Each structure stands twice: as C-alpha cells, then as structure tokens.
C-alpha cells in the first residue's frame, strides 16, 4: 500500500467564549486548524488534524503545520502508511524537530492502519479498555466566582473533571481562586490547577505552600523542567508536567528524577500517537498517571486523544479533554464519539472512527501527489 495523495485543509475554529490563560496574560478566541486527507492506492483514506492552541501557548502555530507539510510531502508520498515508524523516520530525517507539523500525518496513518486490519486505534495501541474516560473541562482564568460558574456549567453537561487555569503575579488571587473552587468541589470530582508556566519559582512556592493542606495537583507550575525540579524541593503538592514534556528523553528524565507525579501528554505537541505511546509506556513503568489531550481542535483531535486514553488501565488515566465543546463549529456532525454524561467512550469502529464533512472544510489549500 502506498500514500498517493495528501490534501491539506485550513479551517478556523472560533471558541464560544474568550479564553484566558496565565491569570489573564494570554487571550484566545479562534484556533487555526489544519486537516489532512491521506489517500492510498488501496482506496483507503485516513484523516489527520493539527490544531495548536493559538501561537502564544507553546512553540507551534497553524501556518507552521502547513509549511512543514509542504516540506515533508515529497518524503511521505509513496510510503506505506501502515508502517508507522518508517513514516516517522522519514519525517524526522526530512525535518528534524517541528513535532507538531508531523502529528496530523501520523494520525492519518494510524487511521489507515486501523481500517486495514479492522481494529480501532485504541485496540492497536494495546487493547481498548471497556470503560470510557472522564472528559475534563478547561476553565478560563478569572475571578473566583466567574471560574466556579464555568465549572458549574460543565457540571450541567455531566463533567466530573476540570482543569482550572491559574497563574500570574497576583498570588493572593490564585490562593483565593483555588480555595473557592475547592470549597465547592463535589465528591469524586477531579480538579487540576493548571498554571501553564505562569509562575516564577517564588510565586509557585508561595501559592503551593499556602494551599498545601488541600493536597491538590498543580500542572506546570514553572517554566522549565529545572524550575519544576526546584519547586518540587520546597513544596509537597503533586505536580503534573505538561508543556515541558515534549520528547521521550523528557519523559525519561522526569520519571527518573521524580520531577512530576503526573504526565500531561498532548498529542500534537509530542508529534502524534507513535511518539506518545512510548511516553505512555514510560509513565506506566514508573507509576505515573496521565492526562491525555489534544492541544485543541475538533472532534477528530479529541478522538485521537480518547483512543490513547482508552488504551491504558483505569488506574493510570486521570482524564482526557473535549475541546469540541468549546467551539462554535463542528466539522464532523454526527460522526465520532462525543462527551456523554462526562465521559468519552471509543467504540469498535476501525481506525480513528470519525470523518469530517468535506463540504465544511472548503477547498484544500494544498494538494501533494
């Protein structure tokens, strides 16, 4: 089987509400999504998506995906999409780094592999757990009551997991936010306080020690892995690592040095499922739980993450994310798993199990063949 054509689509995905990160430092209103359709000489078609969370969140942006695809297309055409690591090797040789540009190709290859052998991606990743995965909300930073209002609106949709965005130089405000949400937390709910790198070491120490009695988990409470290692020494709260978990080497270092207790694996950031499954395995070998998420995007990106999330035992998965619920546009109406009563559950559809409506994507912005 050979890849014969790569069609690239560009689609803006507006958010329902303005979204603030880092205590109001960063604003997001529209996501720049790239969809790809991979066609083969066997008639099988795979779909991939790459949707960075804007261009200020991590070193990734929508136009960069499309430029990367233009650079790599000649190295990908003619390859067998079922041979995932040969495709991975070809992309890494043609364009070192730029993992976020490779992720959509990798996703489409997994889609085709699953269809070719009649298995879901979750089954290909080792075997699909029967129970679904809790979907986490993403709670924009703001005043404590504003944030609790967002949590409540997600509760109304059945969500039991929430990622509340804190961070910034007003440490008193962060302490207030965390105490307010915790005072109103329901039994059994999972709440993660996501700093998104927005604290200095001093700010992290102040806030995390001030709420140490709550035992809550903080995600990425510093800029670098060195920062997290030092914050670790002066605090006792569990730490999740997200933005600075990019490569397999990062995962090995974090696990060996005990820098974090939880991995936040974002598929677009780490370069797709082929690379992410190795990070998953490092986590499971070291007693590290995981949040598995897209960096953002449509039901396609959510579904890719849900497959990986459902490929591991319950005790290792904290939650995945349903970014699709934050968008005003649905590119695949009626297709793919949705968040139902707070959970996303993969079925036995071979491959990815979701196909966009091409009429909603518009004309391709590039075709390589």
49 makes contact with Mg ion (CB under 5 A): no
Tell me how far, at minimum, the Cβ of 245 lies from Mg ion, in Å: 10
Dist CA 156 CA 341 (whole Å): 9
Give whichever of 40 and 196 is closer to Mg ion, judged by the CB atom. 196
Tell me how far, at minimum, the Cβ of 11 lies from Mg ion, in Å: 24
**Which residue blocks in the chain are alpha helix, DSSP H?**
62-76, 84-94, 99-117, 121-124, 144-156, 171-183, 201-210, 225-234, 248-257, 267-270, 273-285, 299-309, 358-361
Give whichever of 242 and 302 is closer to Mg ion, judged by the CB atom. 242
What number of chain residues touch Mg ion (CB under 5 A)?
3
Dist CA 255 CA 278 (whole Å): 13
* Residue 296: φ, ψ to 5°: 150, 175
Tell me how far, at minimum, the Cβ of 163 lies from Mg ion, in Å: 6
366 by DSSP, 3-state: which? strand
Tell me how far, at minimum, the Cβ of 167 lies from Mg ion, in Å: 10
Two structure tokens written together for 201: 């070491």
Tell me how far, at minimum, the Cβ of 295 lies from Mg ion, in Å: 10
Q: Which of residues 72-131 bind Mg ion (CB under 5 A)?
A: none
194 makes contact with Mg ion (CB under 5 A): yes
Dist CA 258 CA 147 (whole Å): 31
Give whichever of 242 and 250 is closer to Mg ion, judged by the CB atom. 242
242 makes contact with Mg ion (CB under 5 A): yes
Give whichever of 194 and 203 is closer to Mg ion, judged by the CB atom. 194
Give whichever of 49 and 194 is closer to Mg ion, judged by the CB atom. 194
Give whichever of 3 and 136 is closer to Mg ion, judged by the CB atom. 136
Residue of 79, 70, 68, 74 whose CA lies nearest to 113? 79
Residue nearest to Mg ion (CB): 242
Angle at CA 133, nearest 5°, toward 239 and 319? 15
Give whichever of 261 and 358 is closer to Mg ion, judged by the CB atom. 261
Interface with Mg ion by CB under 5 A: which range of 148-156, 175-183, 239-247, 354-362? 239-247
Residue of 67, 98, 102, 68 whose CA lies nearest to 87? 102
**Which residues are identified as catalytic?**
165, 266
Dist CA 177 CA 146 (whole Å): 10
Interface with Mg ion by CB under 5 A: which range of 33-41, 134-142, 178-186, 238-246? 238-246
Buried b (16+ CB within 10 A) or exposed e, 202-216: ebbbbbbeebeebeb
Q: Which residue in the set 32, 174, 203, 219 belongs to the binding site for Mg ion (CB under 5 A)?
A: 219
* Strand ranges across the sheet with 26-40: 45-50, 26-40, 3-21, 366-368
Interface with Mg ion by CB under 5 A: which range of 24-32, 58-66, 110-118, 214-222? 214-222
Interface with Mg ion by CB under 5 A: which range of 50-58, 119-127, 215-223, 273-281? 215-223
Interface with Mg ion by CB under 5 A: which range of 150-158, 211-219, 226-234, 245-253? 211-219
Tell me how far, at minimum, the Cβ of 58 lies from Mg ion, in Å: 10
Q: How many CB atoms lie within 10 A of CB 347?
A: 11
Tell me how far, at minimum, the Cβ of 81 lies from Mg ion, in Å: 31
Give the interface with Mg ion as residue ranges (CB under 5 A). Answer: 194, 219, 242
């Amino acid at each position: 089987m050979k890849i014969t054509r790569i069609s690239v689509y560009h689609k803006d995905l507006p958010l329902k509400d303005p979204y603030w990160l880092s205590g109001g430092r960063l604003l997001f209103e529209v996501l720049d999504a790239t969809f790809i359709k991979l066609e083969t000489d066997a008639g099988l078609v795979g779909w991939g998506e790459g949707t960075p969370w804007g261009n200020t969140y991590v070193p990734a942006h929508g136009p960069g995906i499309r430029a990367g695809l233009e650079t790599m297309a000649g190295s990908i055409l003619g390859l067998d999409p079922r041979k995932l690591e040969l495709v991975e090797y070809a992309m890494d040789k043609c364009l070192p780094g730029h993992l976020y540009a490779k992720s959509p190709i990798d996703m489409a290859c997994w889609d085709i592999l699953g269809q070719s052998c009649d298995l879901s991606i979750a089954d290909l990743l080792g075997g699909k757990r029967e129970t679904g995965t809790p979907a986490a909300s993403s709670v924009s930073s703001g005043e404590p009551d504003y944030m609790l209002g967002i949590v409540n609106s997600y509760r109304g949709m059945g969500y039991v997991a929430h990622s509340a965005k804190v961070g910034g130089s007003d440490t008193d405000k962060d302490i207030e936010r965390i105490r307010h949400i915790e005072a109103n937390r329901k039994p059994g709910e999972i709440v993660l306080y996501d700093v998104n790198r927005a604290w200095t070491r001093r700010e992290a120490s102040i806030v995390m020690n001030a709420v140490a009695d709550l035992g809550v988990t903080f995600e990425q409470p510093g800029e670098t892995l060195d920062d997290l290692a030092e914050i670790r020494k002066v605090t006792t709260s569990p730490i999740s690592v997200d933005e600075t978990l990019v490569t397999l080497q990062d995962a090995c270092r974090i696990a060996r040095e005990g820098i974090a207790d939880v991995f936040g694996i974002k598929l677009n950031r780490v370069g797709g499922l082929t690379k992410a499954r190795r990070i998953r395995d490092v986590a499971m070998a070291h007693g590290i739980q995981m949040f598995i998420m897209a960096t953002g995007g449509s039901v396609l990106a959510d579904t890719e993450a849900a497959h990986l999330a459902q490929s591991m035992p319950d005790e290792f998965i904290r939650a995945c994310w349903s970014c699709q619920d934050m968008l005003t546009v649905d590119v695949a109406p009626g297709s793919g798993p949705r968040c139902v009563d707070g959970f996303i559950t993969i079925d036995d559809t071979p491959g990815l199990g979701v196909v966009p409506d091409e009429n909603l994507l518009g004309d391709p912005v590039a075709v390589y063949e």
